[in-house]
Chain A
Amino acid sequence: MGAVANPDKMICSHCKVEMNHHCDKMVYNVDAHDAGKTDPSMGGIIEEFHTCPKCGGGASRHA
């Protein structure tokens, strides 16, 4: 049986391998379109940062 992709992992768009989640960062985005995404318990938006172990490329997403 083949390996099942971990849904918590981002996949590198270039190498198609699982990326390493190495950072969460609070961002205080004041853009109107992000206003509703603020985590009230944190006071901002948690942004996850991921890096590909093969090519070193980075990606991010809201937590």
Chain B
Amino acid sequence: METSRALFIPVILGTARMGRMSLHAARLVTEELSKCAGVETDLIDIANLPLPTNDAGEAIKQADFSAKMSKADALVVVSPEYNHGYSGLLKHVLDSCLKEYIHKAVGIVGVSAGPFGGTRVIQNLLPVMRELGLVTIFWDANFSSVQKVFTEEGGLLGDSYIRRIDKFLKELIWMAKTLRHGREQISLT
């Protein structure tokens, strides 16, 4: 088995809304991922993906995003909670790929201005992830009252999130390694 390849775990920022605080959470998770040995990462901002809106699904697959999903061993999806749900643009982006996701791990980061840390958007994303062929981990990262977690410039105001993100990423990396082994070595038949 090839073991020298680094894991590639990109972070998808799932909102294009102006003034989004999820950007700070996504940058923090990307920074923490970049410190993990044997892991490469990248922050993918869906606001920068040139997907058309006059069609949907794999018909509008964007080459660069597709290549990153193909290369990925796991994903982190950072999603704010808008009216208990995820942004329509995030679903539009995720639906543009399928084979790229199969048997890969995903961890979800929920972000909210209120006290629940995006728990409802995470619950709503779980069945979507499952149908896309992704394997969800059981650790989430929840940023509640996010306006109190970061400064306007994105500086983290407390250390407690670092420890929680560390637990989240350890589980994600374990699942990414396990699923890579399964994809490459364990036959369905």
Contact = CB atoms under 8 A, between A and B. Distances in A.
Interface in A3-39: 20-25, 27, 31
Interface residues on A, range: 20 to 34
A49 B99 contact: yes
Interface string B16-57: 000000000000000000000000000000000000000000
Nearest to A15: B2
A12 to B, nearest CB: 11
A51 B70 CA distance: 10
Interface residues of B, number: 22
A23 B184 CA distance: 11
Contacts, number: 57
A58 B70 CA distance: 7
B180 A56 contact: yes
Nearest to A9: B187
B1 A56 contact: no
B157 interface: no
13 contacts: A22-B102, A22-B184, A22-B188, A23-B133, A25-B102, A47-B99, A49-B103, A53-B1, A53-B2, A55-B5, A56-B73, A58-B100, A60-B102
Nearest to B98: A27
Interface of A: 20-25, 27, 31, 47, 49, 51-60
A53 to B, nearest CB: 4
Nearest to A25: B133
A57 B99 CA distance: 11
Contacts of B182: 22
